[in-house]
């Protein structure tokens, strides 16, 4: 466990530097927002493209891990949704709370951290969970929010969801990388070198941006935020581990998927909550608490996986 925490400490130290930079007044929240957008649009897609270009579609999507992840994640989503509804929440905030419990910070934290600890062989399962989070559960939440605001789904909703999904730089870069891999062509060396240089900014930029964004995290209903963080850090990896065991999936694939499920709540849940005006401060609190606690919980999951 100590050895695993030692491996993880530099990643969380960069998060801490970003936090202190904003809290100390050296950078403004607007600067962090610009950095976050830069990382999201350029270095992170470059990193994803280069990883995906070295993979085949079968290395990212295999049916048993996909189904196991959907079952385990779906169970936690349903549980947190039902708990919120029984507490008296309406459909939209209950859906947002459920998304908090199953959507981890895979792009900004998971990729650099887990690949640094588990190696590049873990890229395929990590990318698979990223696509399922965006393509299945984020889409489900948008549909549920739309239903909460109108009696029926309008015919234009599928088109808007598809445009949003295809307009996501992470999805586009992953798809482009897999297509390029299928073509069996090498990248022109100057292009490959340029992408490699850009990709090197993804890890420090993303971790710094996480820390800076946490400096502005607001507090609302801390007990609920703690429940959501606990569901994400503990219930989600346990449910995914059980589903993978039931499906007979083991080894590095299972380890990478369980560790990905143990990541703290993703920042894009906050962006969705902010966009629709649904409990953004509650989500912000869940992100803050889960990110702080994840140094220990994620370290424990990774250490357990290597025993």
Domain residue extents for the chain: 36-302
Pick out the chain residues at pLDDT < 50.
none
Contacts of 56 (CB under 8 A, 6+ apart): 178, 181, 182
Q: What DSSP assignment string belongs to 208-266?
A: HHHHHHHTT---S-HHHHHHHHHIIIIIHHHHHHHHHHHHT--HHHHHHHHHHHTSPBP
**Whole-number pLDDT of residue 276:** 82
CATH number of 36-302: 1.20.1530.20
Query: What is the Rg, in whole angstroms, of the alpha carbon atoms belonging to the chain?
Result: 19
**Whole-number pLDDT of residue 2:** 67
**Contacts within 8 Å (CB) and 24+ apart, 273-280:** 273/96, 276/92, 276/96, 276/145, 278/92, 278/93, 278/96, 278/145, 279/93, 279/96, 279/97, 279/220
Angle of the 280-305 helix axis to the 2-23 helix axis, nearest 10: 160
Q: What is the pLDDT of residues 85-139, one digit of tens each?
A: 999 999 999 999 999 999 999 988 888 899 888 988 899 999 999 989 988 998 8
CA dist., res. 259 & res. 251, Å (int) = 12
Backbone φ and ψ of 104, nearest 5°: -95, 165
CA dist., res. 162 & res. 167, Å (int) = 8
From the centroid of its chain, how far is CA 269?
A: 9
**Whole-number pLDDT of residue 306:** 65
Assign residue 91 a region: left if phi > 0, alpha if psi is -120 to 50, beta otherwise? Answer: alpha
CA dist., res. 28 & res. 34, Å (int) = 10
Q: Is the pTM of this model over 0.85?
A: yes
**Whole-number pLDDT of residue 217:** 66
Backbone φ and ψ of 150, nearest 5°: -150, 155
CA dist., res. 76 & res. 88, Å (int) = 19
239: which strand partners?
none
| Three-point CA angle 203, 214, 216, nearest 5° | 135
User: 56 vs 14, 115, 184, CA distance in Å?
Assistant: 32, 18, 10
Q: Map residue 109 onto helix, strand or coil.
A: helix
């Amino acid at each position: 466990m100590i050895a695993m925490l030692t491996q993880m400490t530099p990643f969380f130290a960069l998060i801490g530097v970003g936090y202190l930079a904003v809290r100390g007044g050296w950078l403004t929240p607007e600067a962090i927002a610009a950095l976050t957008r830069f990382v999201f649009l350029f270095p992170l897609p470059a990193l994803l493209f280069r990883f995906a270009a070295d993979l085949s579609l079968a290395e990212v999507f295999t049916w048993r891990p996909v189904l196991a992840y959907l079952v385990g994640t779906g169970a936690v989503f349903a549980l947190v949704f039902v708990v919120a509804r029984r507490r008296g929440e309406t459909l939209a905030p209950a859906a947002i709370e459920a998304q908090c419990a199953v959507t981890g910070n895979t792009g900004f934290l998971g990729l650099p951290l887990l690949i640094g600890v588990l190696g590049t062989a873990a890229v395929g399962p990590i990318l698979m969970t990223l696509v399922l989070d965006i393509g299945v559960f984020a889409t489900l939440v948008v549909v549920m929010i739309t239903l909460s605001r109108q009696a029926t789904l309008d015919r234009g909703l599928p088109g808007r969801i598809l445009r949003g999904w295809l307009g996501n730089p992470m999805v586009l870069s992953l798809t482009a990388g897999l297509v390029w891999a299928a073509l069996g062509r090498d990248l022109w060396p100057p292009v490959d070198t340029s992408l490699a240089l850009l990709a090197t900014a993804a890890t420090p930029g993303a971790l710094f941006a996480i820390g800076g964004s946490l400096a502005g995290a607001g507090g609302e209903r801390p007990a609920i935020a703690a429940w959501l963080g606990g569901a994400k850090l503990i219930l989600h990896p346990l449910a995914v581990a059980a589903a993978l065991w039931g499906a007979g999936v083991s080894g590095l694939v299972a380890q990478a998927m369980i560790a990905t499920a143990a990541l703290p709540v993703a920042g894009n849940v906050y962006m969705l909550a902010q966009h629709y005006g649904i409990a953004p401060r509650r989500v912000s609190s869940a992100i803050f608490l889960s990110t702080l606690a994840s140094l220990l919980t994620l370290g424990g999951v990774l250490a357990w996986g290597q025993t």
